[in-house]
Structure 1
Amino acid sequence: MHTQIPAARAGRSVKVASVAGLALLAGLLSGGGSAADESPGPVSLAAACGTEDSDAAAVAATVALSVDVPDTGEVDRPVQPGPVSFALTLSRADLAGLLPQGAEAVVSRAALKVKVDQNGESAVASWELNAPSTSLPADGDVTLVHTGEVPYVTFGSAGDVDFSVGEFTVELRSATAAPEESAPALATVTCRLKEGENGHVATTHVTAAGGSEPSGSPETPAVPAGGGAGARDKGITVEPAAADEEDPDFCPVEPPTGDVDASEAPQPPPGAPVKVTELPGVFMCANAVGLANVQKLNGAMIINDLDAPALISVMSSKRIANRKASEAGGLYTRIDSLANLKLPDAESTFLTFGFQPVTAKVTFENGPMTISIGSINPGTGKVDFSRVYFRQSLRLHDVKVNGTPLDVGNNCRTATPFKVVLDGGDSYKNVAIGGLLEGEVDIPPFTGCGTGGEDLNPLFTASLSGPGNRVFMNQASTCIPTNPTRSYCPPPPAELPGTKPAT
């Protein structure tokens, strides 16, 4: 059973939306394209940096910027750049002139203005990246290595696309101060590329839907000089936030709680150690609906309320696991996100033993979800994966047999929680875009069923328990309420698996 992946928001334009933390790892696929097997080498750039409130001359800095951008993409399908590593190096003496006396360690945030050019049109994407605490030595050079948020881009026309970086700012804060948003920065440094640096970062080629090439040369500008009727049809726009209204509560669910558990994700091949980085994550939400097949009853029940679905709550990019392709064992990259989904009760009718109609409500008790996305390249080829893992219990209540209530008590449930492992295959690219996930679960025996000394456990165990029960979940694109562009907010609906043919 397959379903169509929810398409990106329609529109013949480039749309830039912040997708927090989804570009920290090498080898992630984007919609409509695939990344190279190994990360390209960093782009080295020379810049001059200074503070606005200083009369001192700008100081020299070097930049090493690495980013994977898919070789190809499709019109109206998101292209996800990533991973991003932005290393800024300054001399300790120059940095001392920018910071208050006595600073011993800093944390920093870099804001890059990345220009996206296609067919004579352009848009600016903001890449906000963060560096952990960095100690300041007595002398020598200081390198601040930033990773973090990066936009995805959706193109409304075919043609070659160029990504380039120009001006960027770096905000320096004390690493020993309390982590408060209102705490003042020690310094805000503005950097501009030196003359002769073009800032080119990466190139991708966008084709028409289905991978076909457009008629004519892709270098031909899509918008005639001076504009004209329909000139914006294929232009590049950045969706701005409305400045005159308060942010609505697009995600009316609590941030997820629990611990990340990536034990069911593909593990790295033997080799060099994998670097694991814990992150605070970025809050987002999405719609997700699905079907759960019960093998013994040859039936299925709908997961989530189609009219008023519960939202899945996600804290994106809580943990990063990474090993370089050049290290022993080959490339291993993984992003772990934490999620919670509190589902409403499902009500279904089955023909027990092939003839007896039984209606029951099912309560899904889900544990914390871990969404793992990444790539493996042990040297023999690249394998990309998306895996969702959580534990679940089922509780039955409001049972009726041929219309007659059957008192099963208040604690008729699976004897133990069971594993739910869902695989995204080629459909689920990342947590921001979503897609179809499917897997197979083994329902444990039931316990606690029956009242007044009547033991109904064997009835439900014989009717429901056992292996081979297929689960299909379809997640739509996530809404990021803190994203100023508000793309995919409020969260768009998700298609019920199987309601549309595969494309």
Structure 2
Amino acid sequence: MHLTVGATRQSTRGRNATIAAFVVLAAMVPAGAVVAADQTVHVTLPYTCSLPSGDVDATVRVSASLPDRVDVGQAIRASDVETSVELSETAVHNLIDKEATTVTAGTRLTIDVAQGDSTAQALWRGSATAQPVPSTGPLTLRTTGDVPTVTGQEDGGLTFTAGALGVDLAPAAATPDTDPASITLDCTPGKDATALLGTVTVGAGTGSPDDSPTASPSSSPSASPSSSPSGTPGQEDGTPGGVQDKRAPKVAGRPSVQADARPAAPRCKYDAGYPLGPMSLNSYVAGYSNVRKQDAAALIPPFCTMLEQGSPEFEPYPDWSGGVIRQHSTGDLYNNGRKESMPFTATFLTFRFMPAKATMVLEQAGPLTVDSLGATDFVFTSTDTYIRVPLVLRVTKLEVDGTPLNVGPACRTSGSLKSPEPDSAKFPGDHLVLHGRGEQNSGEPATGYQLLSGGPLTGEVTIPAFHGCDNAGENLDRLFTAAVSGTGNYIKQMQGQTCFAAAEVPNPDECTEDRQPLKVPVPER
């Protein structure tokens, strides 16, 4: 038996099951319980940020509001969270290309949460609108964003301690075609830093906050996944650490988006060239794509996607103890009437010694499909979503050792980026495959990826050889192929909360007044 949401005749159990399935797939992530803030955090910390060219010192200021006391099992969400990173004038000149006039920042601050001998980790992410690069003096980047809730599971003091910090910088020039390469800083607290942000008393507070272990600010990040501010493939949003025992504080995952002011983003609006459908959604996607040959990653800035959501279909188990939920949706990349991403730049070394800066776009070369498969027992639901789309990588501009080179109008990969396909019989041909997994307990926020609320999508691609790259008769195909093409290139994209643009009255928490997505995701690596 298959039941489709919207059918008029169903059994009571079938109707209830279908409603449950629809709720899961809709992934309407509720806001966690917010308690009154009784303490305000203002902490200034010295950090050291590592680059291949050497270390850079930064001053990091973290401010937030936390409750003084909560009940056991009551969710705690830090509010008014702001992370400020100050770079010296020397650091700015060493890091940011002199052509840059503005810079957009994103931050990823690892928060070590501890209660007694139980620990967990949360990721406080923030983003900011573009701001001018000063000609003299320090550069201060202030980011804000939504943060996951933390729930204490027993009586005692629950501590919040600042750990590793990731800073993503996207400089921009006055002329977009000359935008400098993006930069990622991996930073750790200085050895003399006191990184404790605050302590919340949980329950009767029988435990002493002093008994709660906190991360040593003098220690360097270990090789374990939990020490990285950028997260690790396969881990859910907001919980970089490993599996904790039942007494450990619980960290709820949330999409990586800016919660308040909408950062600068390209136009993402249905129009006469791309008209609204009955279930039309739109969203922003941003992230990183590794280039394995270069041991580096290219930042792909926010770009627009248009989606037409399909109806969920529910197939109950024979004993009605649960069932399987399927949904098929379609969509397109969209940039000013073209099915492509926004241009992005990457700097790499050709033949390991000569710097080259390329401006590129991802061109859609066939249908984009979104297929979700979920399983539920009406208490716990897990959903795996696969996004498939053939994409060709086109190079529009190139500089080698600072000298511009013409690449011609048709410099691109010889075919689509190619991912391993879990169902090649049903989905033949070369295409990109991105996978997202979401989980949800009844009555709790969903974690991971959901079509409507967004989240992390990961995959791996082979980049084909290049062709059509010509500089006044000089064939550049081999240069690009040798430097970039190959297998094993990891991709991580963050999809933001979708806007249901087809709604009669769009949700103001998800859409702008002209039906564009309100939430812009913060790229993660």
TM score, norm. by length of structure 1: 0.45
TM score, norm. by length of structure 2: 0.43
